[in-house]
Structure 1
């Protein structure tokens, strides 16, 4: 049996999940978006202490690595990399959109389309089958009434994520279904154990957040 710490700070809420193989041991969440950096290390310590486990018991650390909030992604990956360097454990980087698709696969009848709010009418999105294989690779696009129209002609498309409210007034096709189900690090273990068994590990020296769009930092 393998023990994992799953970290998600990619969108609004931050969450942690301890899992043994695919089974969830315990989870915790922070809903105050601006405090993720100060919350996460104490939350990890408390999670292990409460469950009478040691960080040294870990077999790997998994992080939801984007796309998503630039600041959130940096917090999550920096935390995960720090633990992996200190403990000499492998790092697993998961695509946030795929994690979101995994959270609703039980309610999907056909295709799943996770959508992350990227401000204004722009979204980060991808399309997956119920088995989480990729139909349309992650991309950033400006959503309008024509978005996804080719797929919607022949498929039921389940939209999920924090951009659903933005899309509902725009996409009126009868094959469009909208889910408001939340996702968290508790939806990561299914993918974490798959990556672990296939030894899909990130290179600690070179891995960066999957921003999807170019990052422009303020030089002032």
Structure 2
């Protein structure tokens, strides 16, 4: 099965093509640039370099969030459009699960991927591998990194932390967890789009029209608007 995977949920732009157990190609950048003008050219370039035609694709897999509100929306919109146009299945996968799979395959313990959510907060969850299958130990959530560290201190296992935003929260995590905290290497911090493709390969397809991103929280502008209009007939 030929699958196109798309991840624009954070600064990292990741595109991958897989065919059954074979990774055909990956495109990854980690730069602060507008995904909306870069993602389609990246898809076209990768498909051209890999000699894959749109009609060859059998499934689209997209990182559904959490992450950047705008970034998640861009990836999901493009994935839905491609799946509808090509009349092929669409599957969404947690952006945090992708990050976990990108670093934790051989880690004997728990995996805590994280994205910075500002004001001391993080998007995170807790994952682990059971043989070769990634499973969820605690669901994706939004909370203060110091509160997350306190929760994890009660765990018996070591915890692998992974993500490009790790340096923002590393001191807090280390202070509370001590030797239980393990921090992924720099080369493991980017979510791999091929991992996204494999995670979504066997997942059930979404209904294209009703599928929406998982933001976990409203965008700041939307939250402020709702607060300002609370109780009004709008």
Poorly superposed stretches of 4+, deviation over 6 Å: none
Q: Distance in 2 between matches of 1:192 and 1:34?
A: 26
Preserved CA contact (<8 Å) 1:114 1:125: yes
Aligned to 2:215: 211
What 5-or-longer segments of structure 1 have no aligned partner? Answer: none
**Alignment CA distance shift 1:31-1:155 (3 Å):** closer
1:167 equivalent to 2:205? Answer no
1:73 equivalent to 2:77? Answer no
Aligned to 1:100: 99
Q: Distance in 1 between matches of 2:181 and 2:151?
A: 12
Aligned to 2:46: 47
What 5-or-longer segments of structure 2 have no aligned partner? Answer: 226-234
Aligned to 1:177: 182
Aligned to 2:232: none
Preserved CA contact (<8 Å) 1:152 1:176: no
Deviations 1:38-63 (A, max 9, x none): 11112211211222211111110000
Preserved CA contact (<8 Å) 1:19 1:189: yes
Query: Quick check: which one's helix share is greater?
Result: 2
Q: What TM-score, normalized by structure 2, do the two folds share?
A: 0.85
> Counterparts in 2 of 1:1-220, with a 5 A limit?
2-131=1-130, 132-144=134-146, 146-153=147-154, 154-171=156-173, 172=175, 173-179=178-184, 180=186, 181=188, 182-195=190-203, 200-217=204-221
SS at match of 1:133: strand
Q: Distance in 2 between matches of 1:163 and 1:50?
A: 31
Q: Distance in 2 between matches of 1:129 and 1:4?
A: 25
Report deviation, 1:150: 4.2
Preserved CA contact (<8 Å) 1:123 1:163: no
What is the total number of aligned residue pairs between the two structures? 213
Q: Distance in 2 between matches of 1:40 and 1:75?
A: 9
Report deviation, 1:66: 0.5
Q: Distance in 2 between matches of 1:12 and 1:55?
A: 26
Q: Distance in 1 between matches of 2:205 and 2:32?
A: 28
Q: What TM-score, normalized by structure 1, do the two folds share?
A: 0.90
Report deviation, 1:36: 1.1
